[in-house]
Amino acid sequence: MNPEVVYHAIRGGLAGSTVLDAKAPLMMGRNVKPGFRIGLHIKDIGDVLEASHAVGVPLLLPWSVMEILQTLKVNGMGDCDHGAIVRFYEMLAQVEVTRPKAK
């Protein structure tokens, strides 16, 4: 599937956002230079999970995100921007998300 087409379809709906507009072009351009590092997200999500446990509130989604980020970290991407999350899904699907080459 063409990532540009998917991006434009998503941005036109409720899932569209300033973050999507900023990150999608970077991901398609393979740019994972740090803005907010994966290692910092791991620390912050750990704090969120600790706080949720302290008050007895289970949070399911942060556990999944933590595992994605940990996978990236152990694969040498801990200092990459969080846009590198796309690389996790690339590993699973064995595809590379890039802009289509101009004809």
- Percent of the chain scoring above 70 in pLDDT: 98
Give tens-digit pLDDT for 4-39. Answer: 899 999 998 898 999 999 999 999 999 999 888 999
Question: Is pLDDT at 84 greater than 90 in this prediction?
Answer: yes
- pLDDT, residue 103, reads 65
Give tens-digit pLDDT for 69-80. Answer: 999 999 999 999
Residue the block writes with tokens 């590198």: 84
Helix (H, G, I), strand (E, B) or coil at 55: coil
Question: Is pLDDT at 93 greater than 80 in this prediction?
Answer: yes
pLDDT band at 100 (very low <50, low <70, confident <90, very high): confident
**Rounded to whole angstroms, how far apart are CA atoms 46 and 101?**
40
- Could you tell me which CATH number the domain at 3-93 has? 1.10.1040.10
In sequence order, what DSSP letters do the residues of 28-91 get, joined into one string?
A: HTT----SSBHHHHHHHHHHHHHHHHHTT---SHHHHHHHHHHHHIIIIITTSBGGGHHHHHHH
Beta-carbon contacts of residue 7 (< 8 Å; ≥ 6 apart): 20, 24, 28
